[in-house]
């Protein structure tokens, strides 16, 4: 399996363009630039960055061992300029350690489910393919989509579908699932799709696939995606060197809300309104690089349908969060 044939990176040129000034500044300063690709996937963004910047080191994080293996094969030609890290993407500290750096010149987070996981028929992520209801991105841990459907009561399932899927029929679907599992365990994606389709009123049956939001909610819960993202955003901001840049690609509103809130908070003054002069410790430590959230253009949406929901946000670190945080890279300390 060739990763380059399976994966088309989303908003690739825009992402590279946003990260390039920080990488080039590090190079001009005479040190090795370091980027953390927090969501490595099959390595498309990392490959393009390594090819564009001959001295760049990228530490790529992914919890999925298959992604680490496939990306490693794709990026083998770059030698030790690529450093794989198998972990969840909040472990930016592990990526910096692998890169031999104390701060990153760039951090990329391409959120959501990867092409590898969507296209792997046996992983249960896609409602269009019959497979065991697993949905674990890292294939570790005991909680799967099937165990959630088996163990949560109707109220818990409905809350899950409402909060993580914004599903208007959440209560109806939850009751249908509880009734169906009383007859036999719900273990495959086809079973779940049949239950949801049968529970969908005819009046709304043509308003999108009934499983889309339920599958999204289950995937988010299985992998604790939003909890990890909540931890990742402050860790990523803190891990940036002054002048370093963070680019985040989000694919649904819950993710984008977390990203937006974290970036706006770090880009705003914390000084009390009645303070006559803003003290240094109250000044923003990020500068937003794009206005609002950018979307993929029409040409990319046509060429790569998975780019359709993407929202891109980016920021640059302009000062230390704390006075002691203006950290040089380790190679500068020797």
Binding positions are: 43-45, 62, 89, 110, 117
User: Residue 27 has what DSSP assignment?
Assistant: H
**By the 8 A CB rule, do 104 and 83 touch?**
no
Residues annotated in a binding site for S-adenosyl-L-methionine: 43-45, 62, 89, 110, 117
The token duo for 96 is 């910096």
Which residue is it, tokens 């010149």?
105
Whole-number Å distance between alpha carbons of 298 and 259: 24
Angle between helices 170-181 and 189-199 (to 10 degrees): 120
Alpha helix (H) ranges present in 108-169? Answer: 115-119, 145-151, 154-165
Angle between the N-to-C axes of helices 12-28 and 44-52, in degrees from 0 to 180, rounded to the nearest 10: 40
In angstroms, rounded to a whole number, what is the distance separating the alpha carbons of residues 126 and 195? Answer: 16
Nearest to 181 by CA among 206, 205, 145: 145
Cα separation, 180 vs 192, in Å, equals: 9
Alpha-carbon span 60 to 110, nearest angstrom: 12
- Report the Cα–Cα distance between both ends of the chain, in Å, rounded: 42
State the virtual CA torsion across 198, 202, 204, 205 in degrees, nearest 10.
Answer: 50
Instruction: Report the 10 Å Cβ neighbour count for 77.
Output: 11
Q: Among candidates 78, 85, 102, 125, which has minimal Cα distance to 219?
A: 125
Strands of 57-62's sheet in order across: 82-86, 57-62, 34-37, 104-110, 240-250, 311-317, 286-288
């Amino acid at each position: 399996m060739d990763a380059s044939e399976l994966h088309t990176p989303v908003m690739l040129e825009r992402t590279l363009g946003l990260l390039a000034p920080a990488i080039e500044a590090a190079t001009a300063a005479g040190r090795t630039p370091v980027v953390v690709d927090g969501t490595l996937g099959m390595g498309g963004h990392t490959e393009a960055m390594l090819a564009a910047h001959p001295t760049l080191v990228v530490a790529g994080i992914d919890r999925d061992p298959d992604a680490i293996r496939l990306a490693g094969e794709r990026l083998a030609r770059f030698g030790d300029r690529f450093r794989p890290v198998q972990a969840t993407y909040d472990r930016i500290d592990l990526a910096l350690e692998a890169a031999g750096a104390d701060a990153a010149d760039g951090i990329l987070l391409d959120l959501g489910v990867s092409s590898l996981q969507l296209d792997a028929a046996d992983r249960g992520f896609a409602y269009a393919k019959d497979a065991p209801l697993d949905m674990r991105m890292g294939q570790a841990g005991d909680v799967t989509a099937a165990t959630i459907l088996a163990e949560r009561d109707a109220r818990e399932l409905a809350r899950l579908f409402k909060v993580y899927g914004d599903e208007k029929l959440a209560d109806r679907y939850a009751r249908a699932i509880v009734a169906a599992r009383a007859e036999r365990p719900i273990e495959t994606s086809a079973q779940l799709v049949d239950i949801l389709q049968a529970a969908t009123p005819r009046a709304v049956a043509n308003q999108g696939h009934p499983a889309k939001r339920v599958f999204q909610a289950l995937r988010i819960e299985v992998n604790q995606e939003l909890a990890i993202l909540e931890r990742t955003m402050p860790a990523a901001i803190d891990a940036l060197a002054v002048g370093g840049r963070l680019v985040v690609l989000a694919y649904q509103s819950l993710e984008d809300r977390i990203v937006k809130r974290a970036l706006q908070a770090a880009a705003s003054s914390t000084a009390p309104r009645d303070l006559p002069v803003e003290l240094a410790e109250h000044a923003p430590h990020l500068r937003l690089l794009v206005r609002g959230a950018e979307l993929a253009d029409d040409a990319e949406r046509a060429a790569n349908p998975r780019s359709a929901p993407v929202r891109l946000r980016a920021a640059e670190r302009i000062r230390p969060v704390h006075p002691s945080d203006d950290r040089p890279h380790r190679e500068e300390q020797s």
